[in-house]
Structure formats: structure tokens, C-alpha cells
């Protein structure tokens, strides 16, 4: 599929310069379908607080629990409603090359500004296979490669990234392996976003990272903006650590889903296999909000501790 | 799925006032996937010649040969590229209520301005079932109901349309049964578009139709614009009849597909079960183009008679 | 996809000799999914009363309301559970050649004995297109062609059937156009099944039809067996007419769905756009059952008149 | 979906007693579709050499590269052709609970004897979420839980397995973590299959494992049968290690795909992201075959070293 429309062409440099990108949460109605009204509110709050881009259907947004038609629809919806105010980066990656190709074609066709691509998790492949996989999609448009071995079971090593970085469509790397790896890339002129909220301050100010692709910014976009834009600030960074540790106590987005429900900005609906954090952790969150200041968090309702019965867990949707 | 974004809200009156809507052709690459570059060119030519709306994935656009993810993608793509210049009406109808509900939700979510809905063809249902079917989707946004018994095997009778016309989301009816039926509706204040190019002049000027949802306008948008906007013109109307008769000699879009390929604006690729018109009919088309004037047709290449071998027919895509 | 396993090979003659084939009803659970327990009971009752084949996912079985994965699953399930006792004919036809090819490959791969193929309804095509469509699937295995212009909007004329009848995979034609057409084919040695329960007695005994593909046999398999096997019987035929007229008062399977629910053999769950017959028609059915004898109908519960509130109508499933 | 047919009921004890299960390879035609003829040959050779069960669409069979309809079709096909001779275990697991539920329902409906379930890889979840995920599918029929943290990024710890082992549908665990973990389970009376071919001899004879779910048995079913059935045999085990090390030099099934192509039993067609082993490794395989004896491997053609040009790599299929 090819389209020559100028408005579909995003300059890769526009992606490279983004400092704060949120891996946006996907909220649900009680029957498990998307709650687009809540979603639009979430994205609006991100825009108002200075976030420059969103990852749609990342692991945080639970792309792995979407059918592809839901996924592409959500990308198209986000472009249509917010594409003029924020960069829309679709997670059209997959462990199946066929699916990655198809989804990436469709994502660019509906106007996404860039694609996020993961290496083939679970199924895994050889280094040659990994390179073939990425080459199958890189020609389509601006691309961010995502390395998170703790999820994929396989590191994307520098000797894969270096040749790929020659491709003019490579915007950069979302790297979760740590600051040493980040520095290796930034020294070579490769754009990197930290994929770890607890490290992103140092990545940004000490290791050359351009910014962060953040989960925490779903909750405190303004403070994350400050952290990425306003210069080195170890004090602020330290203040955020308890929240970040709470968020990642269980695999993301379990903490985020629980937090946003307790802040009253999304319904307490979970698509399985995600379930809410237990009561004591939910109580802990209220304390964290008070400590950091409710006004720094998204939404306007009082933060509350939800009961077990408040949550709806859904297996068929 | 609910979205409150203002830009997604199209006023139903904006749909009601459209006089010339094209049921746009979907062009293909040699492997059967969409040729979006050609598609964008087609839509651009429509816009330049004054067409006000497009039906995406209608029977003309071969929605019945698309997977739903292709179909919704094409709607989202059209909105993203051209939604500011032309009204995008997605054919999210189906003979399955489930599919109609799902596709219509998705279509509005990616920004389509209105939905086109057909009664349950082939499977058919009772009058009560037909009303339930339409009621399942009418609340979602501006809607055009499409009546074409020669395809569906079942008329949508006035006693179905009249109660539905009370719904503020009903923009109007695309009616193929004839001018008597059209007049019945327009007398009752219901907006109607002719679905028959050979009758649309009279429907518009003598029977109260607002305009036409046209196949022929894919080829001669400017002349169809004149026919719908510039007052009664039986001379022009008569001049167009040979083209229209040629176009509908076989079930649409067989003639249209053949014509656009010979005009050099789409590749000669057919998704089965459509096949090109035979040679003698293809030769006839060249004569019709010369008679009406090449400059009135879309595209700039010389019209040519394609050989059988020029066509690619595809069953797997 | 190719498989050489002998058990997957059904001789086309085994299909040609079937006299009584039921277009089997697909029953649902209250959430709209298949009720396989009820389905298995229905099929078992067919086998016990001498029915020789079932059409899975025909228009009666509401294949048009299934996703293809549901459809193929139901074919595979039927083969797995009953394939040794009854011929399983999957309705893998579609108005999309791509879908027909894919579904037919999958249907034969999971063991169906024959495919039922319809001409491209709704979208329609030329005679050449229709032949290309059928040629795309005929090589895969034993095939029955289904002609029902009142649903498809387009007749399959004899000049399409005659050349196709040379294909050794053509088992025959399910013909709804009438006995004159049937006689035309049977005189030419083409196997025909009547697709009209009200005509099938005459088709069988006076016009050379091999048998019937029946809706009514869902309800009274034993009597239909008698009608097709035990010789000319105008008395029995006349006795059945009131039931058949009641069944087809509204588009099939509305009457059948209502009847089976009132006989207590399926739950009163309808997938939209089908809705139950109104109360007075439901009451009428009880009289018909008493007239013909409850013991001639499937199931063992008393026939009852269901209330409007007893029915569950489902749009999302 | 519920079915009461007796032939669909497999006793969980029939699964528990299997000693040699092959994670069967899925072979492809040059256009990327399944080559069912080659598949049937592969399964037949497994049956002839005494293999008792197959995993259909496991990671070895590249279930992660299948659409779900392909996957369920392959399960249904295997049941239909070979279900009387070998146990068919469908890998209907997923990191999405919805997909796992849907696929497992469909798999049992088409007759699979047991399901293989993985914990939510890539997306991951909490322990509570993992248990909810498994509980969503365990009630449907005999189940094997599969633990492979090197692929999933998350161990299934004993405190998840122990409570689940109380469920009468749990047949056992396919465990890749090692013999210490295996012994922990077998001491507790839980059935375990080794998921590591290089350890399976010891797992079976020294740590209480019932048997192996093997990749290597695709190639040498007879020798693997001997290894699992004929008593402790460290000599044979040592002889097999070079082959096993060769097979797992790159992520499985890269080695297996390369080997079967060179043995002439499948076409050299790879679905990306898998690519063949490089030339030197391909040459090495020929030596290994000669060392172990060609007659111990499946197929009858001479083993050959394929050229790079012999392989077809496919991204769209």
C-alpha cells in the first residue's frame, strides 16, 4: 500500500526531537470494549501538560490484548482526534513478521507518525532473522526500535542496532537495558529514549538520551515534563522514585491501571490476564499521591482506595 | 465505544445538503492489496472537480471483497488525508447485525462523517428484524439507508423508512427503486439521493431528490457536478446516457473497473469475482470517451483498449 | 493446502446419492456463542431419523452471521463428532472469491465431505465472473452449487451450470427456481436437490430430482424421510404444506428458529437481524404441531407458546 | 460452547501416561500456506515410529506465526486425519486471556485431546493474574502447562503450579527450567514432561519425569522412543547430544526447519522471522546425519546441503 499524501509524511527528525512520549493507557468500558471518551480525556490531559508524543497500544496500552482491527482503529482514532497536537506512534510491532508488516502498513495508512517495533519475543529468532524482521518494516516510515529483554527473552545487541541505524527511517531506540548501553548508542549519534522511568533522569542528563518513553507520565505528565526539560534535577527525581517503584512492583501496566482507576480517570475495568494490585498496595498509592500532591496527578476527583468489588475483570470481550 | 471529541461530530445537516457523492472505486496493486497512491489520486480528482462526498467501500468500492480491517483502514485513511475537503461516508453496513455494529463503531471512531447502511441482504429478515437491525446502528451518528432490492433480494418498504426517518441521525435514503418511490419520500420531507445514474437528473429536478450517489462520477465528476448543480439539463443528461448504459451493461463495478484501467488512472487489476468487460465492450468505451470528450474524464493519459493479457485477476490477496 | 489422507477423500458419488439433506439450525447460548450441546442433540436426532447429510452454516444455519473461524470450527466439530454417520457439507461459499477459496480449503482440511457454493450475491458479477468464481473452488473436492435468486439477486442460468457439470467434482445443484429448471437439469443427467420444501415431493417424484436439501427436516426428519424415500405420496405432501407455509411466512430461518425454541430443543436465543415470529404466529405453530402429531417432531417436551420476554435477541456476540 | 459427545472426551489419564510427544513442525508451500501433504507425511512418520502425541502449533510448529483460524484448522485437520492413532494436543495458549479462552474452546470443539497453555509472555502479569489466566481455561479439558522463562521472560513458580495441580484437568507440566524443578514436582505426584531434549534422558530416568515433549523427535522419532522407553541409556543419550546441540544453536525451530529441508521431507520454505542456518552449519548437519545413520532420520532421500538460493523466505502469506 502506498500513499503520496503529504500530510501522511512525517519527517523522521520530528520524531527524533521528542523528549517526552507517554506509553498511553487504554481504558475500557464494563464490557471490555474501549472507553474512547475516557481515552480522549487521558490524551487531552497529556497534551495540556506538554507531552509531545504517545505510544498507542504499547505493552502499557495492552496492545497484546487487542485484536489488530481494534489496534489500528485506536491508532486511526488518535490521529484523527489529536494528530495535530501530539505525535502518534503506533506499536505495530509483533513477533510475527507478517503481522508486523500488515499492521505497520495499516498504521501509516491511517496517519500514524511513526512505528514502534519490537524484536520477535517468545518465538525469538537468530540475529539474521531479527535483522530480516526489522528490514521488513523499516522502509515504511519513521521507526523506533524497542529493546526490552526482560519481556522478549532476547536482547537486541548493538551489532543489530548499528547497521539498522544507517537506515534514514530509524528515529532511534527505546532502550531498557541500562545507561551503559544508552551511552554506547548516543556516543555513536543514535537517538535513544530511556524505557525505564527510574533511570530516565540520569539517561537524559548524564548519558545522552534524548528523553523518555514513559509509563509514569500517564499519571504525572507535568512533573515528567519538568524532569525531561528543565535541567538536571536530582531532587525532583528522588521525589518520584517511590511512585515509580510502586508502579513497577508488579509487571506494568498492573500498577498504572490500578492507579488511574483510583484517581477516577478510568473505570476500574481490567482485561485479563491483568488484575488489580492488592488492597494494601492500593492503600499505599493514596499515601504516595498525598506525598507528591494530588494536583500533580491527572484528574480532579479525590484519590480513593477501591474495594475488591469495585473492579471488573474481563476474559471475553 | 464513545468519543466526545468535537471534530468527530458531524452535523447531520452537513450530510443532508450534499448533492454529489461518489461511490469511489478501490484500486489495487498487482498482488491485490490496495493501491493507496492511485486511490489518493482518484479522491483528489473528485475533490478538484467539485464532488462533495465519497462512499468508501460501497458495492462500487467492493467493500464486499474487503476484510473488515482493510475496510476500516481505508475509511480512516480517507478521513486522515481528505476529511477536511470532502465528506467521508463509510459503508459499514452488513447483513450481519454484529458486523454492522462493530464496523460502524470503528468507522465513527476513526472519524467518518456518516455511515451507509444496507438491509440484511442474502440472509434477509422480517420487517421487525430489519427495523431492529437499523436501530442497532442508527444511534451512532449520521446515517444513510441504502435500498437496492436488485442486489439485496428484499425491498426496504416505506413503512420501514417512515418511522426511522424520525431518528435525528437519519440523513436520508439512497434509493434505487425509482422516481415514484423517491417522490413519496421527498414529499414527506425525507432527504433522498438517487442510486441510479440514468435516473438521477429527473430525480433531482422533477422528484425532489437532493442529489445522487453516483458511480459515473468516478469517470466524469465535472459533468455530474453540472448535472446536479446547474439546473435542469435534458441535453446533457441525454449525452451521458450512452456512457451510463455502457457502465451498467454488466453488474457494477465491472464496467467502472474496466473504464478506469483504460483511462490509465488505475492498474488493470481485478479482485475476483470481477473480471473485465470483453474486448468489444472495451473498444466501445474508447468511442464513448471520444464522443463525450477525453477532457471530461478523469486522468490525462490517452484512453486505450487494453488486451486480455493486460489484466491481472486475483483470487488470493 | 494439500492433504493426501484417504479419509479426507469423499467420493463425489457418495454425495450424488443423498436423498435427504438437512440445512441444520445453529443453536446459541444466551451470550450468543454456539450451544454445541444443543447442536449435537439436533444432529443426533437427524441421524436417528434417517437424514443422510447436513449443510453446516447454510443460510438456515446462519453462516452469514458467523465469523469464518466459528464457521470452520463448526464444520470441524461436526466432522469430528458425526462424520462417520452423516455426510457433512460445509457452506463455504461467499460473495468474495477470496473468502470462498480460503474457507473451502479449510473446510476440506478439517474433513468436510463436500462444499456448498453460492454465486456472488449482493456484489454480483458477470457470467464470466461467476464461472471464474466457481472454477476457483471446484477443484478442491465434491461440490454442490446453490441457486436461489430470491436471496442472491441473480440467477445462475443453465449456460453456467452445463459447462460446470463437466467437472468431475460437481455433485449437483441445489435449485430453488422451480421444477421446470430442475427437469432441464435432470434430463441432462445433472443431479439436483430441490431447495424448496413445498415443491420437493413433486421435484423428486415427477421431475427427476435426487432429493431435497430441506429446512423442514430440522423439525420432522422422519416424515421428510418418508416423503423422499417411500414413493409418491401426495397425501403426506398435502399434510405437510401448512407447516411449510408457516415456516416460510417470513424469511427463513425465522420460522424455524421460533419453532425449535417452542419445541424445547434449542434455547430461545436469536442472533440479530433475526427476531422471533409474533405471538399469533407462535400460537399457530402449536396448532400445527398438534395437527401433525407431536411425536413426528424432534424433541420430547410439550410444545409451548413462548412469551415475548422469553426470547433473547443479541447484536454483539 | 459445550458438547457432550463422548468421542470428544479424553480422559486426563490418557494424557498423563504419554512418554513421547513431538512438538511437530508445520511445513509450508512456496506461497507460505500450509503444505498439508508434507504435514501428513511428517505426522505419519511420527506414528509409525511410536510417537504417542503431537503438539500442534507449538513454538516449534510456529503457532506464533499463524492466524488463529489457521491454527484451529490445523488442530481440526490433525484430529480428523490422525486422532485415532495419536493424541493431538493443541497449543491454544496465548498471552491474551481472551485469545486463550476462544482458541481453547474451539480446539476442544474440533476434537483436540488436550490443550497446552503458556503463561502470558511478553505482556506478563502478576502471580494472581497468572492464576486467573490459567483458571480461565483449565475447566475446558485436559491441560498441560508450559514453563519456558527463556521465552516468556517470567517463570511459572511452584506456588502457581501446586494449587493448579489440584484441578482434575491438569495433566501435567512441560518444564524447561531443569531437573531440580522437575524433581520437586514429581516428588509431589505432578506429571512432568521435560521440555529440553538435552536433559530429557536424565529427567526421565533420574528425576521422575514421565517423558519428553521433544523437538528432536521430529528428526529421529525412533531413537527418541528408545531413549524414553527402553531404560536408562547414557550411551545413546551421549550419541544424540551433537545433534541436539546443533538443533538449538539458534532459537528453535531454525535448526529443525533447516534440517527437515535438507532431509528432503519439507520444502525449504521459511516464514519470517525465521531464516535458515548459515552454510557452514548446514554442512555440519550432513556430518551429524552420517554419524548417527541416515536410517535413523525421517525421510528416505539423501541428506543434502542446500544452497542459499534454495530457500524461500516469506513475509506476506
* C-alpha atoms less than 13 angstroms from C-alpha of C82 in its C-beta half-sphere: 27
C53 in reach of chain D (CB within 8 A): no
In a domain, A258, yes or no: no
Please give the residue range of the domain that contains residue C40: 3-231
Question: Which residues of A define the annotated binding site?
Answer: 60, 213
Longest dimension (CA), chain C: 54
Give the model's pLDDT for residue B140. 97
Q: Tell me which residue in D34, D74, D110 faces C77 most closely, judged by beta carbons.
A: D110
Give the model's pLDDT for residue C8. 56
Handedness of CA C250, C256, C259, C264 (dihedral sign): negative
To the nearest 10 degrees (0 to 180), the angle between helices A68-82 and B68-82 is 10
Q: Please name the residue of chain A whose CA is at the shortest distance from the CA of residue B7.
A: A81
The residue of B8, B10, B36 whose CB has the most chain A CBs within 10 angstroms, and thus the best one to mutate to test that interface, is: B36
Paired sense of beta strands C20-23 and C211-214, if any:
parallel
The residue of A154, A272, A317 whose CB has the most chain D CBs within 10 angstroms, and thus the best one to mutate to test that interface, is: A272
D36 in reach of chain C (CB within 8 A): yes
D308 in reach of chain A (CB within 8 A): no
In a domain, B92, yes or no: yes
Indicate which residue of D146, D185, D207, D274 is catalytic: D146
Using DSSP, state whether B101 is helix, strand or coil. helix
Q: Which cell is D151 given?
A: 521465552
Q: Which residue's C-alpha cell is 498525598?
A: A290
C41 upstream amide cis, omega within 30 of 0: no
* Closest listed residue to residue C94, CA positions, set C114, C116, C118, C71: C118
Residues of C in contact with B70 (CB under 8 A): none
Shortest alpha-carbon distance between residue A136 and chain B (Å) = 17
Shortest alpha-carbon distance between residue A218 and chain D (Å) = 18
Contacts (Cβ under 8 Å, ≥6 apart) of B127: B157, B159, B160
DSSP string, A46-60: HHHTT--EEEETSTT
Burial of B280 (0-12, 13-18, 19+ CB in 10 A): exposed
Tens of pLDDT, residues B172-217: 999 999 999 999 999 999 999 999 999 999 999 999 999 999 999 9
C-alpha A65/C-alpha D278 separation (Å) is 36
| pLDDT, averaged across chain A | 96
D106 in reach of chain C (CB within 8 A): yes
Tell me the CA distances in angstroms from C100 to B160, B307, C22, D37, one per residue in order: 33, 28, 21, 21
Query: Do D142 and D18 contact (CB within 8 A), yes or no?
Result: no
Residues of D in contact with C109 (CB under 8 A): 34, 36, 73-74, 76-77
What length is written for chain D?
A: 317
C9 in reach of chain D (CB within 8 A): no
Query: Do A193 and A211 contact (CB within 8 A), yes or no?
Result: yes
* C-alpha atoms less than 13 angstroms from C-alpha of D281 in its C-beta half-sphere: 18
Percentage of the residues of chain A whose pLDDT score is greater than 90: 97
Q: Tell me which residue in C101, C153, C277 faces B315 most closely, judged by beta carbons.
A: C101
Per-residue three-class SS string for A159-220? HHHHHHCCCCCEEEEEECCCHHHHHHHHHCCCCEEECCCCCHHHHHHHCCCCEEEECHHHCC
A121 in reach of chain D (CB within 8 A): yes
A99 in reach of chain B (CB within 8 A): no
| pLDDT, averaged across chain D | 96
Mean pLDDT of A227-231: 98
Task: Kindly tell me if the per-residue pLDDT of C4 is higher than 70.
Answer: no
Residues of A in contact with D95 (CB under 8 A): 64, 122, 273
Active site residues of B: 146, 174
C-alpha B166/C-alpha B174 separation (Å) is 17
Task: Kindly tell me if the per-residue pLDDT of B6 is higher than 90.
Answer: no
Give the model's pLDDT for residue D8. 56
Q: Tell me which residue in D4, D68, D110 faces C80 most closely, judged by beta carbons.
A: D110
In a domain, A174, yes or no: yes
pTM of the predicted model, to two decimals?
Answer: 0.97
Burial of A99 (0-12, 13-18, 19+ CB in 10 A): middle
In a domain, A93, yes or no: yes
Tens of pLDDT, residues A64-76: 999 999 999 999 9
Report CA D317 to chain centroid distance, whole Å.
Answer: 23
Give the model's pLDDT for residue B274. 98
Q: Please name the residue of chain B whose CA is at the shortest distance from the CA of residue A75.
A: B110
Task: Kindly tell me if the per-residue pLDDT of D7 is higher than 80.
Answer: no
Q: Tell me which residue in A64, A126, A149 faces D250 most closely, judged by beta carbons.
A: A126
Burial of A300 (0-12, 13-18, 19+ CB in 10 A): exposed
The residue of B1, B121, B273, B275 whose CB has the most chain C CBs within 10 angstroms, and thus the best one to mutate to test that interface, is: B273
Using DSSP, state whether A128 is helix, strand or coil. helix
In a domain, C289, yes or no: no
Per-residue three-class SS string for B132-147? HHHHHHHCCCCEEEEE
Q: Tell me which residue in C1, C5, C72 faces D69 most closely, judged by beta carbons.
A: C72
Contacts (Cβ under 8 Å, ≥6 apart) of C46: C22, C24, C54, C86, C217, C218, C221
Tens of pLDDT, residues C202-231: 999 999 999 999 999 999 999 999 999 999
Tens of pLDDT, residues B65-112: 999 999 999 999 999 999 999 999 999 999 999 999 999 999 999 999
B26 in reach of chain C (CB within 8 A): no
CATH of the domain at C56: 3.20.20.70
C-alpha D312/C-alpha C99 separation (Å) is 26
C-alpha A267/C-alpha A306 separation (Å) is 11
Give the model's pLDDT for residue C6. 46
pLDDT-derived band at A6, boundaries 50, 70, 90 = very low
Report how many Cβ contacts below 8 Å link chain B to chain C: 143
Q: Do D132 and A62 touch (CB under 8 A)?
A: no
In a domain, A179, yes or no: yes
Query: Do C105 and D31 contact (CB within 8 A), yes or no?
Result: no
Query: Do A86 and A114 contact (CB within 8 A), yes or no?
Result: no
Tell me the CA distances in angstroms from C253 to C21, C24, C125, C240, D102, one per residue in order: 16, 10, 26, 17, 27
C5 in reach of chain D (CB within 8 A): yes
Q: Which cell is D208 given?
A: 521422575
pLDDT-derived band at C316, boundaries 50, 70, 90 = very high
Indicate which residue of C39, C146, C185, C207 is catalytic: C146
Q: Please name the residue of chain A whose CA is at the shortest distance from the CA of residue B44.
A: A5
Mean pLDDT of C115-141: 98
Q: Do B315 and C136 touch (CB under 8 A)?
A: yes
Q: Please name the residue of chain B whose CA is at the shortest distance from the CA of residue A8.
A: B81
Handedness of CA C275, C281, C282, C286 (dihedral sign): negative
Burial of B66 (0-12, 13-18, 19+ CB in 10 A): buried
In a domain, A294, yes or no: no
C-alpha C255/C-alpha C262 separation (Å) is 11
C-alpha C109/C-alpha D71 separation (Å) is 12
C123 in reach of chain B (CB within 8 A): yes
Give the model's pLDDT for residue A88. 98
Number of domains in chain C: 1
Residue D146 known to be catalytic = yes
Q: Which cell is B182 given?
A: 423517491
How many Å is the Cα radius of gyration of chain D?
18
Q: Which cell is B272 given?
A: 475476483
Task: Kindly tell me if the per-residue pLDDT of C5 is higher than 90.
Answer: no
Shortest alpha-carbon distance between residue C83 and chain D (Å) = 9
Shortest alpha-carbon distance between residue D61 and chain A (Å) = 10
C310 in reach of chain D (CB within 8 A): no
Instruction: To the nearest 10°, report the CA torsion of D255, D260, D264, D268.
Output: -60
- Report C:152-171 residues touching B (Cβ under 8 A): 152-154
Q: What is the ipTM of this complex?
A: 0.96
C-alpha C299/C-alpha C314 separation (Å) is 25
Using DSSP, state whether A28 is helix, strand or coil. strand
pLDDT-derived band at A3, boundaries 50, 70, 90 = low
Contacts (Cβ under 8 Å, ≥6 apart) of D194: D174, D175, D176, D182, D200, D203, D204, D209, D211, D212, D213
Q: Do B77 and A111 touch (CB under 8 A)?
A: yes
Residues of A in contact with D278 (CB under 8 A): 128
Indicate which residue of C87, C174, C207, C225 is catalytic: C174
β strands within C39-159, DSSP E: 53-56, 87-90, 114-118, 143-147
Q: Which residue's C-alpha cell is 475496510?
A: B71
Report CA B33 to chain centroid distance, whole Å.
Answer: 20
Q: Which cell is A79 given?
A: 490521529
In a domain, C168, yes or no: yes
Q: Do C81 and D1 touch (CB under 8 A)?
A: no
DSSP string, B228-296: HHS---HHHHHHHHHHHHHHTSSSTTHHHHHHHHHTTSS-SEEETT--PPPHHHHHHHHHHHHHH-GGG
Task: Kindly tell me if the per-residue pLDDT of B133 is higher than 90.
Answer: yes
Mean pLDDT of B115-140: 98
Indicate which residue of A146, A185, A207, A274 is catalytic: A146
Tens of pLDDT, residues C14-27: 999 999 999 999 99
C-alpha C42/C-alpha C36 separation (Å) is 10
Query: Do C105 and C6 contact (CB within 8 A), yes or no?
Result: no
Residue A174 known to be catalytic = yes
Give the model's pLDDT for residue C109. 97
Query: Do D200 and D7 contact (CB within 8 A), yes or no?
Result: no
* Closest listed residue to residue B314, CA positions, set C98, A85, D45, C33: C98
C-alpha B149/C-alpha D82 separation (Å) is 48
Residues of C in contact with D77 (CB under 8 A): 3, 76, 109-111
Give the model's pLDDT for residue B10. 86
Q: Tell me which residue in B96, B251, B277 faces C64 most closely, judged by beta carbons.
A: B96
DSSP state of A31: T
C-alpha A46/C-alpha A21 separation (Å) is 9
Q: Do B77 and A3 touch (CB under 8 A)?
A: yes
Amino acid at each position: 500500500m502506498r500513499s503520496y499524501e503529504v500530510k501522511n509524511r512525517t519527517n523522521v527528525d520530528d520524531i527524533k526531537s521528542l523528549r517526552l512520549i507517554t506509553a498511553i493507557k487504554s481504558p475500557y468500558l464494563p464490557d471490555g470494549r474501549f472507553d474512547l471518551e475516557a481515552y480522549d480525556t487521558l490524551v487531552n490531559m497529556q497534551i495540556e501538560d506538554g507531552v509531545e508524543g504517545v505510544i498507542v497500544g504499547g505493552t502499557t496500552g495492552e496492545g497484546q490484548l487487542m485484536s489488530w482491527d481494534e489496534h489500528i482503529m485506536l491508532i486511526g482514532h488518535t490521529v484523527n482526534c489529536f494528530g495535530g497536537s501530539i505525535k502518534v506512534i503506533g506499536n505495530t510491532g509483533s513477533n510475527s513478521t507478517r503481522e508486523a508488516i500488515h499492521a505497520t502498513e495499516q498504521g501509516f495508512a491511517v496517519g500514524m507518525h511513526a512505528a514502534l517495533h519490537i524484536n520477535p519475543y517468545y518465538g525469538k529468532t537468530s540475529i539474521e532473522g531479527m535483522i530480516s524482521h526489522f528490514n521488513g518494516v523499516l522502509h515504511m516510515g519513521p521507526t523506533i526500535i524497542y529493546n526490552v529483554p526482560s519481556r522478549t527473552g532476547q536482547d537486541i545487541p548493538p551489532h543489530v542496532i548499528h547497521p539498522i541505524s544507517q537506515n534514514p527511517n530509524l528515529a532511534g531506540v527505546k532502550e531498557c537495558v541500562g545507561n551503559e548501553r544508552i551511552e554506547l548508542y548516543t556516543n555513536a549519534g543514535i537517538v535513544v529514549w530511556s524505557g525505564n522511568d527510574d533511570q530516565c533522569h540520569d539517561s537524559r542528563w548524564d548519558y545522552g538520551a534524548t528523553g523518555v518513553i514513559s509509563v509514569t507520565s500517564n499519571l504525572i505528565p507535568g512533573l515528567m515534563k519538568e524532569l525531561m526539560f528543565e535541567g538536571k534535577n536530582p531532587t525532583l527525581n528522588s521525589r518520584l522514585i517511590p511512585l515509580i517503584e510502586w508502579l513497577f512492583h508488579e509487571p506494568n501496566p498492573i500498577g498504572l491501571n490500578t492507579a488511574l482507576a483510583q484517581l477516577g480517570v478510568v473505570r476500574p475495568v481490567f482485561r485479563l490476564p491483568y488484575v488489580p494490585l492488592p488492597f494494601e498496595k492500593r492503600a499505599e498509592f493514596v499515601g504516595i499521591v498525598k506525598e507528591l500532591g494530588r494536583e500533580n496527578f491527572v484528574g480532579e476527583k479525590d484519590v480513593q482506595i477501591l474495594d475488591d468489588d469495585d473492579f471488573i475483570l474481563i476474559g471475553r470481550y
